[in-house]
Structure 1
Amino acid sequence: MPTEILMPALSPTMEEGTLAKWLVKEGDTVSSGDIIAEIETDKATMEFEAVDEGTVGKILIGEGTEGVKVNTPIAILLDEGESADDIGSGAAAPAPAPAAQPAADAKAAPEGVAATPAPAAPKAADGGRIFASPLARRIAAQKGVDLAAVKGSGPHGRVVKADVENAQPGAAAAPASAPAAAPAAAAPAAMASGPSTDLVLKTYEGRPFEEVKLDGMRKTIAARLTEAKQSVPHFYLRRDIQLDALLKFRGQLNAQLEGRGVKLSVNDFIIKACALALQQVPDANAVWAGDRVLRFEKSDVAVAVAIEGGLFTPVLQDADTKSLSALSSQMKDLAARARDRKLAPHEYQGGSFAISNLGMFGVDNFDAIINPPHAAILAVGAGVKKPIVGKDGELAVGTVMSVTLSVDHRVIDGALGANLLQAIKDNLENPMVMLA
């Protein structure tokens, strides 16, 4: 029986993507693990591996198609002995998008499947979706195997044919009993929105302009940061940090490391200072998790990287335990691959704290928006020459950098945030301590 290849979920938050490029054509034979397509998510272009073997019988979604929903059939895979004649008319091509349906019909079958509704995707024990190939699902149904109990050996833990065949047959998962009716929850306050598209277009009638289509990344940035700004209770803490000792120490280190091809940036020191500060003020090394706070043992620090059309925030895991040279090397690698949109999801997801540095653009100071579920983000301005009053009242000229810590008040209160910012300041103004 022909097997549908479905649009994959390449990250936990992916709902749709662009089928950027097919690397196979109809008639090609593929094996499990072969790269068959490139998929653009809201953040990156990623390779899509086949999880079953067979012959590509029909490609349903063409290259360059945008907005392909996760689990939409994108191609048909034929088993040995099957031909294109075995492909049913219901799976021959994706169905056109249906007209808007009433709420009661909101769970209609996805585009491109036969008229007979498919069973709901099984859920893992923790309520998450189970990732399994279509062939594995079909065999599991035939053998009465509960996919929730099968450990996947495919890419990213996906359950494949061999996993189901090796599983012990058992009773299919019993349907969950209908839950007791819960009291209706109060509807969340609607997010404030700007003027409608029609109104904006009408406002600028007669003026020359260009309409720029939003890609997936820009849509995601717009949605997430609008939600963050409106739903996260931000407050802001500001400090000036003297950089003269750090700049001198950096120059000495770079002279020593030149033979190894290592050149430390000020940003490398900032990453290290923040990572250590999260250890020095451990209650601030946390994220907001809906109805609880998660506190972390290690310091995983995200750093904003500007790319064409948007930004990435790659995460440096265990930054508190890594040397400055290791952080510098890793940051350069992550930034380069971010600009090429070649980061894997695990490289830009997670972390509890973020850094956004606009100092290289000459910005003195700014306020950054927290990226949930993070509890804080440090906005870093440029180092500029300013008059400094010494301990004995004498005046001098020094290099001063202004920083602003944006804090989620649900996780970090004012005094705790002040302690965290003080620790960051102390680390940067006494850089040799960071090597201890």
Structure 2
Amino acid sequence: MAELLRMPEVAAGSTAAVLSGWPVPEGASFHAGDALMIVETDKAEVDVPATADGTLIKALVPTGTEVEVGSPIAVIGAPGEEVGDLDDLLSGLGIAGPTEAKPAVRREVPEAEPTTESTASSDTALPPANGRIFSSPLARRLAREAGIDIGTIQGTGPGGRVVRDDVNAAITNRPPQPAPTADDPTPAAPSLPPSVSRSTPPSVGAAFEVVPHSRIRRAIAGRLAESKQTAPHFYVKGQIRVGELLALRQQVNADGEVKISVNDLLIKAIAKAHAQVPEMNVIWTSDAVHRFHTVDVSVAIATEGGLVTPVLRAVESLSLSAISAQVRAFSEQARHGALRQSDLEGGSITISNLGMYGVEEFSAIINPPQAAILAVGTTTRTPVVAEDGNLEAADVMTLTLSADHRPVDGALAARWFAALRESIEKPVRLLV
């Protein structure tokens, strides 16, 4: 029995979302759990799975449009179901026709483009569904910048979707361009991709590239600007000896199959500190402070499209191997744009680690509505004063806690930082 598929509320409290793609072409069947649609929210681009087996009879909304939650976006039916008169079916469902669906606002990210004979050769181009190539916004941008037709790239994502790795592989395997010949000593200037705009204002004279804001980048900018404007930040910083922590990591990795990172150990240490100082496990709302019963920690992961912060749930009850496996899974999903909206919601604190880039210390902006974020620097070999008063070399890491002064006082943050230091400098407690 045919029925309407409506835009789901993929983000709690959201009123609209961008329909980024249809991995399932019209007329094709799908199974429960398959990616039925790709929806872009303020935080990430996520695949929305089908809840049951069925057939995508008709898409009512084109890709690249913003749709209100609850608005009809497609007609779906039973597996293998065929429709004789589509207009009668739409009329019976209360839809006047596909072209009369509620207008949606175009988003900033360009949508997938149909292939033509002039842009894709018949022996290399993929046969698109209904003239469209399904690809992520990042993949389309990378292909345009490299001057590669997206229609010539074999997609390995869900439903044959072209993702970043596919474009990078096409760039790597692209044959080299022929060098100019002697008969043409003054070669023409290379053509620029459509997304690159070169302008030479009289007062500047330098070429530049215009990169339109994506929905995610706008959201990141808005949320962090709001955080600095509305949350009174204060900072607690300290240098912590991590020699025993590094030794424990080496021992655990030597005996175990799952390789534990320093970041995994720090996530566990945060959970220990929250358990000891539960007043830090909070968020601020306009009506009250919410104090949580489990420690949910967000992990900052950098992607080509922007920073995402998936949440590890109940970290206090997870083993180090479970933490490591979950972080690795989140990193892989973030790289392929497969994080779910539910993965990005919640948590009272975020960990942001720039140590792998050689950054010694930094101060991070709180991810609202959370109450704190811990900035992690690199480990350095530093002279320190030992208990006997002599100088000795030690492995030291600088940690900076940014806290929201509304739910967290300075003394509270200091107590929490002391608990964190104890867990890191005496790391055997992380295994208990």
TM-score (norm 2): 0.69
Aligned length: 330
User: What is the distance in 1 between the residues matched to 2:210 and 2:48?
Assistant: 31
Residues in 1 aligned to 2:377 and 2:103: alpha-carbon distance in whole angstroms? 48
**Residue number among 281, 284, 307 corresponding to 1:285 in the alignment:** 281
1:325 Cα offset (Å): 1.9
1: CA distance, partners of 2:23 / 2:228: 38
Aligned residues with identical type, % of pairs:
40
| Distance across 1 between alignment mates of 2:391 and 2:351 | 32
Equivalent of residue 404 in structure 2, options 408, 413, 425: 408
Q: 2:368 aligns with which of 368, 372, 385?
A: 372
**Distance of 1:393 and 1:307 partners within structure 2:** 46
Q: Aligned partners of 1:346, 1:377: CA distance in 2, in Å?
A: 20
- Partner Cα distance (1:3, 1:208) in 2: 53
Is the 2:61–2:98 contact (alpha carbons within 8 Å) kept by the matching residues of 1?
A: no
Alignment CA distance shift 1:60-1:326 (3 Å): closer
Q: Kindly indicate whether the alpha-carbon contact (under 8 Å) linking 1:39 and 1:47 is maintained by their aligned counterparts in 2.
A: yes
Aligned to 1:91: 97
Pair 1:263-2:264 in alignment: no
**Counterpart residue type for residue 330 of structure 1:** Q
Counterpart of 1:211, as a letter, is V
In the aligned structure 1, how far is the partner of 2:424 from the partner of 2:362? 19
Is this contact kept in 1: 2:61–2:101, CA < 8 A?
no
Asked if residue 382 in structure 1 is aligned to residue 378 in structure 2, the reply is: yes
1:227 aligns with 2:229: no
- Tell me which amino acid in the other structure corresponds to 1:222: A
1:31-430 mapped onto 2 (5 Å cutoff): 36-42=36-42, 43-49=44-50, 56=57, 58-63=58-63, 65-76=64-75, 83-86=85-88, 87-88=90-91, 90-94=96-100, 206-257=205-256, 261-430=257-426
Q: Which residue of 1 is the match for residue 19 of structure 2?
A: 18
Deviation at 1:61, TM superposition (A): 2.1
Cα separation, 2, equivalents of 1:394 and 1:237: 27
* Mapped contact 1:275–1:299 kept (Cα < 8 A): yes
2:254 and 2:405 map into 1 onto residues whose CA distance is 43
Residue of structure 1 equivalent to 2:133? none
Deviations 1:348-374 (A, max 9, x none): 211111100000111111111111111
Supply the AA of the counterpart residue of 2:87.
D
Counterparts of 1:264 and 1:34, CA distance in 2: 32
Q: Could you tell me how far 1:30 is from its partner in structure 2?
A: 7.3
Q: CA deviation at 1:53?
A: 6.6
Task: State how far apart, in whole Å, the 1-side matches of 2:278 and 2:104 are.
Answer: 52
SS at match of 1:267: helix
Q: 1:81 to 1:251 in 2, by over 3 A?
A: closer
SS of the aligned residue for 2:316 comes to coil
Can you give the 5+ residue segments of structure 1 that lack an aligned partner in the other structure? 100-199
Cα distance change, pair 303–31 in 1 and its aligned pair in 2 (3 A): closer
Q: In 1, Cα distance between the equivalents of 2:355 and 2:83? A: 63
Post-superposition offset of 1:23: 0.5
Paired with 1:294 and 1:223, the residues of 2 have a C-alpha distance of 23
User: Kindly tell me: are residues 7 and 243 of structure 1, through their superposed partners in 2, closer, same or farther at Cα, counting changes over 3 Å?
Assistant: same
Distance 1:24 1:433, change over 3 A: same
Find the residue that maps to 2:22 and give its secondary structure.
strand
Q: 1:222 to 1:386 in 2, by over 3 A?
A: same
- 1:234 touches 1:409 (CA, 8 Å); kept in 2? yes
Alpha-carbon shift at residue 225 of structure 1 (Å)? 1.1
Q: CA deviation at 1:345?
A: 2.1
Whole-angstrom CA distance in 2 between matches of 1:274 and 1:422: 11
Q: Distance in 2 between matches of 1:30 and 1:314?
A: 28
Separation in structure 1 between the aligned mates of residue 33 and residue 423 of structure 2, nearest angstrom:
47
Q: TM-score when scaled to structure 1?
A: 0.68
Inter-CA distance 296–31: structure 2 relative to 1 (3 Å threshold): closer
Q: Give the RMSD, CA atoms, in angstroms.
A: 3.0
Report the CA distance between 1:254 and its aligned residue. 1.8
How many Å apart are 1:55 and its aligned residue?
Answer: 7.0
Q: Distance in 1 between matches of 2:301 and 2:59?
A: 36
Q: Secondary structure at the match of 2:342?
A: helix
Distance across 2 between alignment mates of 1:409 and 1:369: 13
Unpaired runs of 5+ residues, structure 2, are: 106-198
